[in-house]
Structure 1
Amino acid sequence: MDVVIVGAGEVGTSIAASLAADHEVVVIDVDADRAEQLKYELDVLTVAGDGTTADVQTTAAVGDADMLIACTDDDRTNLVTCGTAKTLGDAFTIARVKSTEYLRTWEAAERAFGVDFMVCTDLQAAENIVRVIGLPSAIDVDPFANGLVQMAEFEIAEESPVAGQTVAEADRFESLTFVGIFRDDEMVLPRGDTVICAADRAVVIGSPESVHLFATDVAPEATPDRADEIVIVGGSEIGYQTARLLEERAFRPRLIERDGERARSLAEDLPNTIVMEHDATDAEFLAREHVDEADIVVTALSSDEKNLLVSVLAKRMGVERVIAVVDSPDYVTVFEEIGIDIAINPRTVTAEEITRFTYESIAENIAVLENDRAEVLELELTEGCELVGQPVADLVESIDVRFVIGAITRDGELVTPRGDTVLRPGDHVVLLVDTAGVSEIASLA
């Protein structure tokens, strides 16, 4: 597939890195130095110039491209870029936007702005936060097979009851499969005798019920199904969208916003959220409002520095779980190293969503793990494909790719894979695979 990416920032670079191995990729950026640097870093073609103009897009052969991805930091630039592409050819256009207003307009009018698929950064980040809140001890959660299957990643704390257990000892659930363990810089494909160590990141796939039960084993002190007390710090668009999505799930969060006018607007738009007008960096205020008793605190302020300060204050007050929105990917590690439970970078979330969509031709669904070290795919098996008619154990032995089948859905029912399970046409298979083997595995379906 020929793909043109407009914007060589964090989002564009991440997408280009994911696609470069299997597709012909051209990257356009206004910064000539950045374009030249990316050419050698990722071994992709680059064009320096304004991606909204027909001349630059013609130089990048947009007219002959299969897909154009507009992912600069400016919404209007991305929309104009997609509109220009439609005048030159028939490329499938993807636009990244921050504004939910543009998203609503696009949803109301088919292919508005010349955009075939739109990803809203703030909404994606909020949805990611809410998924994690729904499974309190997880650091990443994704649904598959229309919700019949759930993938979750857990960081194993030193005090966790499963630390030191073997996979066979920890896996007490009929419809759950351990598919991967990330340990330092290594991905371990777990066997029954694999020991789960503190600081491991364990990935499991199974029914939502079994994943929730396993979450209880990982962190018994955490609420297994929902957090009763959630505090959102910051009435930014991400903060607002997080509260709105939580209300849809019958939560009644509290939200702290410093700006009076913004606080009043949020209170009107969020009938089931208690909105408090105050400076969230005021430790006395946080103590007075019993923020220390919250199950989860989400920091969604306007800067990473403020989010870091409030996150640290919340942890020092005794909040069990803090989720921080971190705008700069370089800061994510900093937040995690000082003890913040989950750092969510909206740009990374957006890049993963766009990458997931570009893979729809080879997979029903996809989740990217650990900075693209592994991926979870959902494949629908066709009649006569190479995966059909063989037991799972034989497939693992015969295919020279590191992968683990985590779940199968058949005729709307969940099937937990075992070594003697034979795959059939029409099965939906959810599996974890080393990123280098994604295309090979997908080609077998």
Structure 2
Amino acid sequence: MQIIVVGCGNVGRTLIEQLVKEGHDVTAVDLDKSRVEQVVREYDVMGYIGNGASRTLLIDAGVKKADVLLAVTAADELNLLCCLIARKAGDCKTIARVRNPIYTLEEVSFIKEELGLSLIINPEMAAAHEIARLIKFPSAIRVENFAKGRLDLLGCRVKEGSELAGCALMDITSKHNVNMLVIAVQRKGEVVIPNGQYVLEEGDVVYFVAEPTKVMQSMKKLGNVNRKVHKVMIIGGGETTVYLSKHLLNIGIHVTIIESSKERCGELSELLPNALVICGDGTDRELLLEEGIESMNIVVAWTNFDEENIMLSLYAQQHAKAKAITKIHKIEHDEILQTLDVGSICYPKKITAERILQYIRAMNNSMGSNVETLYQLVDDRIEVLEFVVRSNHDFLGIPLEKLHLKKNLLIACIVRAGKFIIPGGKDEIRMNDSVIVVTMDRGLECISDIMR
């Protein structure tokens, strides 16, 4: 598809990088010359310097032939105006990033309908939804869904004393009666798509797929006990905290918020009358102890500084026995974070980009590709894709053991008529199946691409 991205900040660059990887024709637009030059140099895309709300500039950038325009600048109103002009000048699909909380859900729905937008994404709300999903499985490092929620993908650490430590993957089902499939393992910075002979060790980060009803059993075998969450501490009082707190309070979870700005604390107290709002330095150890961090089930480190968030999460993991959820802005910290136990890591710009990319993939799906869902794991070194078989292929109905599949590729599972199948060599792919594929290669666009 031909896609125009207006705004080359963190979210814009993340989108451009992934869209190029997925084979789209991308044009970048930004007022900042250096930003445009950077993305043109790094990702080999077309670039235009100027205001994305300019009709002339958008026409020059190819809006009349574009399939979709993504407006992800830092200014909400500019994003909305870009989308409006793109709709009038090119009649393409439009997606806007709108983050100001004054735009309520009702107002967003009205704006979307009146301006003819395809999607409006609120980054703070999207991040809150991601955190809420992680809180549902406190022991998990990562939680994703496939097959329209019928299949869960989770990442968990193999804890000390786990029944599965020292167990070969081929023996998990027969010896431990666990219906899960390990699709990737991260050990000491290295990541592999394991075969049946692979033996798990304590400290491994294991990514596996399982039916929602089997997830708890699988996590327990890995030594992860999911206790009910009663208390959550959030350090940092931004808009994500507001959205998250409202959700947690509505389901009966006690919320403590620590925020350094006295003025913001006053606002939070009005917005969240049922939450405990503390004005103070979230890195003050004595304050954390005084406000009961040791009794918390979850600690969300959500300040604007990566280093503070990392230190807070380390403290929570080591001294409070709480699950930590850590906000990180800079991808460059990945190598350091792999050696530290900071719980679940959330990259706000990646969350926003992923929501937009899901919509793009759905559009692309209707235009010939059949990638339903795509997630990237372990610093983007592994891709997990969901394909739906909608057309006939030569390999349908043939046992998997007889197929010539690409190397570094695993058929993780097959969902057929709502039934979850961990495939063996005798299983086969059929029409209308949802097929989950794990690979270290890039560029898979169709289920047929799994073949050599």
- TM-score by length of structure 2 reads 0.86
Indicate whether 1:237 and 2:239 are aligned: yes
Partner of 2:285: 283
Indicate whether 1:83 and 2:89 are aligned: no
CA RMSD of aligned residues (A): 3.0
Q: CA deviation at 1:109?
A: 4.8
Partner of 2:6: 6
Structure 1 counterpart of 2:431, which letter?
A: P
CA distance in 2, matches of 1:73, 1:199: 40
Indicate whether 1:380 and 2:388 are aligned: yes
Kindly provide the CA deviation profile for residues 352-374 of structure 1, in whole angstroms up to 9, marking residues without a partner as x: 22223221223333322233322
Q: Secondary structure at the match of 1:232?
A: strand
Indicate whether 1:364 and 2:372 are aligned: yes
Partner of 1:413: 419
The 5-angstrom pairing of residues 170-209 of structure 1 reads 170=172, 172-183=176-187, 187-197=191-201, 200-209=204-213
Partner of 2:223: 219
Indicate whether 1:393 and 2:395 are aligned: no
Q: Secondary structure at the match of 2:240?
A: helix
Kindly provide the CA deviation profile for residues 233-278 of structure 1, in whole angstroms up to 9, marking residues without a partner as x: 2221111222223234443333334445544544454465444444
Q: CA deviation at 1:207?
A: 0.7
Q: CA deviation at 1:442?
A: 6.8
More deviation in 115-124 or 370-379?
370-379
Partner of 2:150: 148
- Name the % identity: 28
CA distance in 2, matches of 1:406, 1:65: 35
Partner of 1:438: 444
Q: Secondary structure at the match of 1:404?
A: strand
The answer to whether the 8 A contact 1:180-1:190 is kept is yes
Q: CA deviation at 1:91?
A: 1.6
Partner of 1:20: 20
Q: Secondary structure at the match of 1:377?
A: strand
Q: Secondary structure at the match of 2:321?
A: coil
With over 3 angstroms needed to count, the CA separation of the structure-2 counterparts of 1:29 and 1:260, relative to structure 1, is closer
Structure 1 counterpart of 2:60, which letter?
A: T
Q: Which runs of 5+ in 2 are unaligned?
A: none
With over 3 angstroms needed to count, the CA separation of the structure-2 counterparts of 1:210 and 1:283, relative to structure 1, is same
With over 3 angstroms needed to count, the CA separation of the structure-2 counterparts of 1:199 and 1:46, relative to structure 1, is farther
Q: CA deviation at 1:43?
A: 1.9
Structure 2 counterpart of 1:424, which letter?
A: R
Partner of 2:321: 319
CA distance in 2, matches of 1:115, 1:301: 32
Q: Secondary structure at the match of 1:219?
A: coil
Kindly provide the CA deviation profile for residues 393-432 of structure 1, in whole angstroms up to 9, marking residues without a partner as x: 33xx323364323333333333333322233322222332
Q: Secondary structure at the match of 2:209?
A: strand
Q: CA deviation at 1:93?
A: 1.1
Kindly provide the CA deviation profile for residues 142-173 of structure 1, in whole angstroms up to 9, marking residues without a partner as x: 12223211011224467755444322344545
Q: CA deviation at 1:141?
A: 0.5
The answer to whether the 8 A contact 1:82-1:95 is kept is yes
Kindly provide the CA deviation profile for residues 293-326 of structure 1, in whole angstroms up to 9, marking residues without a partner as x: 2122112234445434544543453333221222
Structure 1 counterpart of 2:197, which letter?
A: D
More deviation in 135-144 or 360-369?
360-369
Structure 2 counterpart of 1:81, which letter?
A: C
CA distance in 2, matches of 1:156, 1:167: 13
Partner of 1:121: 123
Q: Secondary structure at the match of 1:364?
A: strand
- TM-score by length of structure 1 reads 0.87
Structure 2 counterpart of 1:202, which letter?
A: V
Structure 1 counterpart of 2:287, which letter?
A: F
Indicate whether 1:32 and 2:33 are aligned: yes
Q: CA deviation at 1:186?
A: 5.2
Q: CA deviation at 1:73?
A: 2.7
More deviation in 262-271 or 20-29?
262-271
Number of equivalenced pairs: 441
Q: CA deviation at 1:65?
A: 0.6
The answer to whether the 8 A contact 1:18-1:372 is kept is no
With over 3 angstroms needed to count, the CA separation of the structure-2 counterparts of 1:81 and 1:297, relative to structure 1, is same
With over 3 angstroms needed to count, the CA separation of the structure-2 counterparts of 1:260 and 1:348, relative to structure 1, is same
More deviation in 20-29 or 240-249?
240-249
With over 3 angstroms needed to count, the CA separation of the structure-2 counterparts of 1:69 and 1:335, relative to structure 1, is same
CA distance in 2, matches of 1:272, 1:145: 37
The 5-angstrom pairing of residues 281-360 of structure 1 reads 281-315=283-317, 317-331=319-333, 333-334=335-336, 337-360=339-362
The 5-angstrom pairing of residues 422-433 of structure 1 reads 422-433=428-439
The answer to whether the 8 A contact 2:112-2:120 is kept is no
With over 3 angstroms needed to count, the CA separation of the structure-2 counterparts of 1:433 and 1:292, relative to structure 1, is same
Q: Secondary structure at the match of 2:208?
A: strand
CA distance in 2, matches of 1:293, 1:386: 58
With over 3 angstroms needed to count, the CA separation of the structure-2 counterparts of 1:442 and 1:143, relative to structure 1, is farther
Q: CA deviation at 1:67?
A: 1.3
Partner of 1:55: 56
Q: CA deviation at 1:100?
A: 4.2
